[in-house]
Amino acid sequence: CFAMYGRYTQELGTYAKEEAARLREEGGLRRSTSVRSQTADLLEDEKDPCAKCQMCTSRCQKFLISRVGEDWIFLILLGLLMALVSWVMDYTIAFCQQAQKWMYGGLDSNMLLQYLAWVTYPVVLITFSAGFTQILAPQAVGSGIPEMKTILRGVVLKEYLTFKTFVAKVIGLTCALGSGMPLGKEGPFVHVASLCAALLSKFMALFGGIYMNELRNTEMLSAACAVGVGCCFAAPIGGVLFSIEVTSTFFAVRNYWRGFFAATFSAFIFRVLAVWNQDEETITALFKTRFRLDFPFDLQELPAFAVLGIASGFAGALFVYLNRLIVESMRKQKTINKFLLKKRLVYPALVTLLVSTLTFPPGFGQFMAGQLTQHESLVALFDNRTWYKQGVSEDFDYLSQPQAWNHPHVSVFITLLLFIVMKFWMSAVATTMPVPCGAFMPVFLIGAAFGRLVGESMAAVFPDGIHADGTVYPIVPGGYAVVGAAALSGAVTHTVSTAVIVFELTGQISHILPVMIAVILANAVAQSLQPSLYDSIIRIQKLPYLPELGWGQEKYNIRVEDIMVRDVSHITLTSSYRELQEALMSGQLKTLALVESSDSMILLGSIERSQLQCLIAQQLGRSRRLEYLRERAQDNGTHLPTLSQDTPPKSGRGVRFLVSTMALERGSEFSLRVDFQCLITATFCLCCLFFFWKSNAGSMTPKRRRPKRVRITMAIAEWEEHQLDEPVNFNNCKIDPAPFQLVERTSLHKTHTIFSLLGLDHTYVTSTGRLVGVVSLKELRKAIEGSVTVTGVKVRPPLASFRDSGTSTSVSEVTELHKLWNRHRSMSDSMETCV
């Protein structure tokens, strides 16, 4: 009942009554059929005594299969699988790191052999990780969070959610982290969890078709991102919040329970496995601290925490800039770029060799605790005791690692400073290697070291602590390490949920106020200077993702008319197939706008590219050509199956054409009466045609054969030209009568919100129903980045900056509205006169 342009061809009430009557009749037929089938089943059951047991078993099987397809079963399986993967990976990584230390300690008699063992071991692991990933699935390289942000927006990235990528990601990440390089696990684990969710959805689709739904898969991917963080740090609450901040611009609240349920179950199983393996006595935090609860900090320390947050903001922006600078500088050097593309394993091997050499414990590593792993370093940095006491280094005591941070000739401040500086650029360089790796954990460690340095400085300035109410409360440097870790990681990722992750990692919330102050200040500074690390990677890889808007006022003053493309590819109601073909060949647009005419440009709807290709295929298809040739032969009075001297077949292809034409004309003989006699007749005809062609092929000259072929080819070409000049018939075409539309005065802020909320690729710009332009994701992204140089895009920042936001409509718009109103009034007056 719904026509092409949104007009109803039948009364809606009448149509509803007819549909209801039809559905009632179908329902009655189904019920009668089901009753008859049930009666027959009952009669069979009475005859067969085992039939009741079989029926009960089948019903139980159907019930279980229907229940397996529910969400909570899926989330339990996802959490269990990810907890197992995380625990196995941690166990393997710890084993690889202990193996390196065992090799290093067993060769203490020869320093050269120690150096070779310390350097060769990580080089082999990193090289294997890079080669294995490159061969099996290059999509597994890197963090995976930028790609998941793009996928959750609705963009399809090929081979990013396959089983090969899962295997490459898990094995490559295990080898990369087992090498001891400054790499992280959290970012890649978000991708691993998404891979598990995608593969599990395909498996669950066997029990219920709802998991083949695109929206359901997107919801499960959102929950999987939370599971990836939750089972990595045993932090379900922070994992859900972090996944929302880094992967979603707008988050559906209905997915909240899915994320919390799966992340909590995964974190619980992850810690239970540690207790089962006797690594822990009970379920505790990964980096448990013992800060005092009665007086964790004094109000006089809040300025120091604020300064720590601001400094972390600048350091986070510098880290993002340094990481992007390294990648872009290598890409700009064409010679280096070509060499690295040919020898893909050379770059990770060289970087690993450099980092391992600098962290060699008897060498420069003795000044930066080079022999400690990331986990051991964090446990030491979160210690609540003061390392520096009255400037005497011998008083430094840390039971688990007594020699790591204590050097007989260098103070603790120099050791911490060297550790921060060296790990900073090492992490920025290491995260550019083509292996599965993340940057959250190295940045978290650097922030903890920076906070520890500030805390030790405060302890040196106030050796007797801070006096309050006659009680002396000493400075707790471990609290500053917790604040610094949360602030720097939040600055790099542009998230606030790192504060919650820190609370769950340490098991204490005594420093909740300084942590929140430092994280918010760090985010304010970092967001004003650089994009987040994940957005920076998206820009480097040129993924089709919409960046966030800045803090300036330009987003409210710039309008759609400043950034839209005015030369819009469109088709009209009177367009011919030739114009349609030219429009399809001119670009790779997914949809084309349908307007009333080129003069009025009234937007009627949009048509997908596949629909237009089907229209052309129907107009110029093979069946239409055969029909034309058959009609042409009949008009000329030629019976195609009969051969003569004037129309000899030219080749085997001509024989096949004649036989196929004869089959078209006498289809009843070839389709309805396919028996033994028909087969004999067909074989006889083919033999006659073959002998006739052999007998006349020698006497025919090329001059007699070529004109016939040319005439047929010219006839088909003329027929195609005639068909292309005919107007397009849109009756059998699916048309979207209400595509997304914006007006010219829509602000950049509102446009960005609509694109982000609805996941749009493009939208049309109309003025009083007329199509005046189009805005795609490409133009909007370039407008936000401030580099609009694409042909056809008109950006006027000075006009946008000095516009008067108080004016509601322009003169041209008012004129168009007046014209429309006068036209409507004249039509109403003429109708009243007729009445």
Per DSSP, the residues of 243-295 read HHHHH-SS--GGGHHHHHHHHHHHHHHHHHHHHHTTS-SSS--TT-----SSS
- Model confidence over 406-449: pLDDT tens digits? 777 778 888 889 999 999 999 999 999 989 988 899 999 999 99
**Could you tell me which residues come within 8 angstroms of residue 139 by beta carbon, excluding any fewer than 6 positions away?**
147, 157, 159, 160, 165, 168
Average pLDDT, stretch 534-550?
81
Q: Has residue 310 got a pLDDT over 80?
A: yes
pLDDT band at 139 (very low <50, low <70, confident <90, very high): confident
pLDDT at position 66 is 58
Q: Has residue 598 got a pLDDT over 50?
A: yes
What is the pairing mode between strands 591-595 and 570-572?
A: parallel
Please give the angle made by the CA atoms of 644, 649 and 652, to the nearest 5 degrees.
150
Selection from 26-40, 106-120, 541-555, 684-698 with the highest mean pLDDT: 106-120
- Distance in angstroms between the alpha carbons of the first and the last residue of the chain: 30
Residue that the structure tokens 């992750």 belong to? 501
- Model confidence over 608-628: pLDDT tens digits? 888 888 888 887 777 777 777
pLDDT band at 387 (very low <50, low <70, confident <90, very high): confident
Rg (CA), the chain: 37
Q: Has residue 595 got a pLDDT over 80?
A: yes
pLDDT at position 656 is 34
Q: Has residue 491 got a pLDDT over 90?
A: yes
H/E stretch holding 570? strand 570-572
Q: Helical H runs in 302-398?
A: 302-332, 334-342, 346-358, 374-381
Per DSSP, the residues of 103-166 read HHHHTTT-HHHHHHHHHHHHHHHHHHHHHHHHHH-GGGSB-SHHHHHHHHTT---TTSSSHHHH
pLDDT at position 760 is 80
Q: Token digits for 738? A: 């209400």
pLDDT band at 805 (very low <50, low <70, confident <90, very high): very low
pLDDT at position 337 is 77
**Could you tell me which residues come within 8 angstroms of residue 240 by beta carbon, excluding any fewer than 6 positions away?**
226, 229, 230, 256, 259, 260, 263
Q: Token digits for 591? A: 């949809």
Largest CA distance in the chain: 126
pLDDT band at 555 (very low <50, low <70, confident <90, very high): low
Mean pLDDT of the chain: 75
Task: Record the pTM.
Answer: 0.73
- Model confidence over 740-759: pLDDT tens digits? 888 888 888 888 888 877 77
pLDDT band at 671 (very low <50, low <70, confident <90, very high): very low
Residue that the structure tokens 């007797």 belong to? 464
Query: Which residues, in sequence order, are bridge partners of residue 89?
Result: none
Q: Has residue 823 got a pLDDT over 80?
A: no
Amino acid making up residue 190: V
Spatial distance between the Cα atoms of 208 and 221, rounded to a whole number of angstroms: 18
pLDDT at position 467 is 67
Spatial distance between the Cα atoms of 498 and 238, rounded to a whole number of angstroms: 7
- From residue 309, how far is each of 65, 316, 415, 459, 693 by CA, in Å? 53, 10, 22, 18, 92
Selection from 325-334, 447-456, 571-580, 702-711 with the highest mean pLDDT: 447-456
For residue 727, give the DSSP letter: B
Q: Has residue 372 got a pLDDT over 80?
A: yes
More confident residue, 621 or 261: 261
Selection from 270, 172, 266, 170 nearest residue 225 by Cα? 266
Sign, CA torsion 786/787/789/790? negative
Q: How many CA atoms lie within 13 A of 415 on its CB side?
A: 24
More confident residue, 787 or 190: 190
pLDDT band at 14 (very low <50, low <70, confident <90, very high): confident
Average pLDDT, stretch 368-389?
81
Spatial distance between the Cα atoms of 84 and 276, rounded to a whole number of angstroms: 12
Q: Helical H runs in 359-475?
A: 374-381, 412-430, 440-461
Q: Has residue 24 got a pLDDT over 80?
A: no
For residue 28, give the DSSP letter: H
Strand, coil or helix: 785:
helix
pLDDT band at 168 (very low <50, low <70, confident <90, very high): very high
What is the pairing mode between strands 741-742 and 762-767?
A: parallel
Selection from 358, 473, 479, 347 nearest residue 421 by Cα? 358
- Model confidence over 634-643: pLDDT tens digits? 776 654 443 3
Q: Has residue 706 got a pLDDT over 50?
A: no
Q: What are phi and psi of 280, to 5 degrees?
A: -130, 155
**Could you tell me which residues come within 8 angstroms of residue 413 by beta carbon, excluding any fewer than 6 positions away?**
388, 453, 456, 457
**Could you tell me which residues come within 8 angstroms of residue 58 by beta carbon, excluding any fewer than 6 positions away?**
none
Least confident among 92-101, 368-377, 424-433, 780-789: 780-789
pLDDT band at 489 (very low <50, low <70, confident <90, very high): very high
More confident residue, 422 or 724: 422
Query: Which residues, in sequence order, are bridge partners of residue 602?
Result: 770
Q: What are phi and psi of 50, to 5 degrees?
A: -85, -5
Selection from 115-129, 153-167, 748-762, 777-791 with the highest mean pLDDT: 115-129
Spatial distance between the Cα atoms of 505 and 510, rounded to a whole number of angstroms: 13
Q: Token digits for 140? A: 């597994």
Average pLDDT, stretch 808-819?
44
- Model confidence over 181-192: pLDDT tens digits? 999 888 899 999
Q: Token digits for 766? A: 């109309």
pLDDT at position 306 is 92
pLDDT at position 13 is 64
What is the helix, strand, coil percentage profile of the chain, to 5?
65, 5, 30
